[in-house]
């Protein structure tokens, strides 16, 4: 683009006016275009979808799409919809960059079924890294709940039974397998190491990672799952990770292992997990993500006493929206200066 032109960014997702002003202050070369009346109100912190009861009139929808079609950059995917994203890319040849709100925004890009030319023309970035702290804390919560026998405690309390005393596991004496050493996985490893746990991590490279005592390839999980006390899933949902934690792996785990998923629900074969939870191979599971969301009422996971179900909310924090805005502003500076952007979606694997 002409170096004398300002970068026209159209806001396509709910965001406070305060954060809009903050983005403009952080990168003054941005023309941040927004019309809050065309965006659904947020119901809670980081509600990027907005109130589902919100509906535009035909005239408002036409104005919203016309605005989208003037953008060099989109802040958010319109309606969080792959269909709306495809329409925007088709209609606007000047569009060069889309910032997704999700850390796993690659799945939305994949679902839009863009052409090779469009994927080459438009760069997509995610909010990866923003959610590392909250999700790492949820991972620790799940591991502690398993180690401290939360299901047994709940059962005794529900039955008003004191019972006999029993031994609880110590995280400091455990070995934890972290599936995926991206931003979230590295933060999980860092926190576990501070608790004196031993961490094994999966990686596609042999590059050492702070806090990780041993690196294995995801193809070699069978060689390690029999000696770990907990498994934390932080992986994105891709063809390569689909049902990675399946029946064969779960048959080989150390009996009573704790499983926590803060990555994507598709990484775990839920039918195989249910079977393993029922027969005790998996002692406890803390799940923030599922293959289908919302989790269907018919899912047997709801009824298992050794499962904690979190409705994909573990990443939420009061700082999330601000961190995404700051990440976007920093990337906008890189975009304008012609330097590499952070969190670019791999348009082959879509993560």
Q: How many residues does the chain have?
A: 351
pLDDT at 5 over 80: no
Give the whole-angstrom CA distance, residue 128 versus residue 99.
11
Domain ranges for the chain, please list them. Answer: 7-129+317-337, 132-309
Number of Cβ within 10 Å of residue 258's Cβ equals: 25
**Two domains, one topology: 7-129+317-337 and 132-309:** yes
Mean pLDDT of 227-249: 95
CB 199 within 8 A of CB 189: yes
pLDDT at 318: 82
Percent over 70 (pLDDT), the chain: 99
pLDDT given for residue 197 in this prediction: 98
- CATH C-level class of 7-129+317-337: alpha beta
Confidence at residue 46, expressed as pLDDT on a 0 to 100 scale? 86
Q: How far apart are CA 192 and CA 135, in angstroms?
A: 13
Q: What per-residue confidence (pLDDT) applies to 140?
A: 98
Q: Which CATH architecture has domain 132-309?
A: 3-Layer(aba) Sandwich (3.40)
* Mean per-residue pLDDT of the chain: 95
CA-to-CA distance for 53 and 32, rounded, in angstroms? Answer: 26
pTM comes to 0.86
Name which of 143, 185, 93, 138 is nearest 288 in CA terms. 138
Dihedral angle, C-alpha 109, 111, 114, 120, nearest 10 °: 30
- pLDDT digit string (tens) for 193-226? 999 999 999 988 778 999 999 999 989 999 999 9
Report residue 299 as tokens. 């899912």
Residue 2 has pLDDT above 70, yes or no: no
> What is the model's pLDDT at position 351?
79
The predicted structure's pLDDT at residue 3: 58
Q: What is the per-residue pLDDT across 146-196, written as a single tens digit (0 to 9) for each?
A: 999 999 999 999 999 998 999 999 999 999 999 999 889 999 999 999 999
Under 8 Å between Cβ of 149 and 166: yes
Q: Which residues are catalytic?
A: 264, 293, 312
What is the average pLDDT across 90-98? 98
Which pLDDT score, from 0 to 100, does residue 4 have? 64
Can you give the pLDDT at residue 207?
86
Q: Is 90 exceeded by the pLDDT of residue 307?
A: yes
Q: What is the CB-side half-sphere exposure of residue 273 using CA atoms within 13 A?
A: 27
- Given a cut of 90, whether residue 103 has pLDDT beyond it is no
């Amino acid at each position: 683009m002409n170096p004398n032109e300002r970068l026209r960014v159209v806001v396509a997702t709910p965001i406070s006016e305060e954060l809009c002003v903050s983005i403009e202050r952080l990168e003054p070369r941005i023309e941040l275009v927004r019309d809050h009346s065309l965006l659904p109100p947020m119901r809670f912190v980081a509600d990027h979808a907005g109130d589902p009861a919100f509906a535009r009139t035909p005239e408002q929808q036409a104005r919203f799409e016309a605005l989208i079609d003037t953008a060099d950059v989109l802040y958010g995917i319109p309606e969080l919809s792959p269909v709306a994203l495809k329409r925007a890319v088709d209609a606007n040849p000047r569009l060069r960059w889309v910032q997704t709100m999700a850390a796993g925004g690659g799945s939305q890009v994949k679902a839009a079924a863009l052409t090779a030319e469009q994927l080459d023309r438009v760069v997509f970035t995610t909010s990866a890294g923003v959610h590392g702290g909250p999700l790492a804390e949820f991972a620790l919560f799940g591991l502690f709940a398993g180690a401290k026998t939360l299901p047994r405690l709940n059962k005794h309390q529900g039955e008003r039974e004191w019972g006999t005393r029993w031994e609880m596991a110590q995280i400091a004496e455990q070995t934890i397998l972290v599936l995926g050493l991206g931003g979230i996985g590295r933060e999980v490893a860092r926190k576990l190491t501070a608790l004196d746990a031993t961490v094994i991590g999966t990686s596609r490279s042999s590059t050492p990672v702070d806090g990780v005592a041993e690196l294995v390839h995801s193809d070699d999980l069978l060689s390690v799952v029999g000696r770990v006390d907990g498994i934390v899933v932080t992986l994105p949902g891709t063809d390569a990770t689909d049902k990675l934690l399946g029946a064969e792996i779960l048959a080989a785990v150390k009996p009573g292992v704790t499983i926590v998923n803060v990555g994507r629900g598709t990484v775990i074969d839920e039918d195989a997990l249910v079977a393993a939870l029922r027969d005790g191979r998996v002692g406890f599971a803390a799940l923030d993500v599922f293959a289908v969301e919302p989790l269907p009422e018919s899912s047997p996971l709801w009824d298992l006493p050794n499962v904690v179900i979190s409705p994909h909310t573990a990443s939420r924090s009061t700082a999330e929206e601000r961190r995404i805005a700051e990440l976007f502003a920093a990337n906008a500076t890189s975009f304008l200066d012609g330097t590499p952007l952070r969190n670019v979606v791999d348009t082959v694997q879509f993560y």
